[in-house]
Amino acid sequence: MLDHTEMPYATVLDFAKLYAVPFDPSRTDLVDLENPPPSQDAQLPCVHAVEFLADIHERGGVHQDIGRAIEVRVAYPIF
Q: How far apart are CA 11 and CA 32, in angstroms?
A: 16
Q: Is the pTM of this model over 0.75?
A: no
Domain range for 47:
2-24+36-75
44 assigned to some structural domain: yes
42-75 pLDDT, tens digit per residue, is 888 888 888 888 888 888 766 666 777 777 767 7
Domain count, the chain: 1
Report CA-CA distances (Å) from 78 to 2, 20, 72, 75. 25, 12, 11, 9
6 assigned to some structural domain: yes
Q: Any idea of the CA torsion for 1, 43, 30, 32, to the nearest 10 degrees?
A: 10
30 assigned to some structural domain: no
31 assigned to some structural domain: no
57 assigned to some structural domain: yes
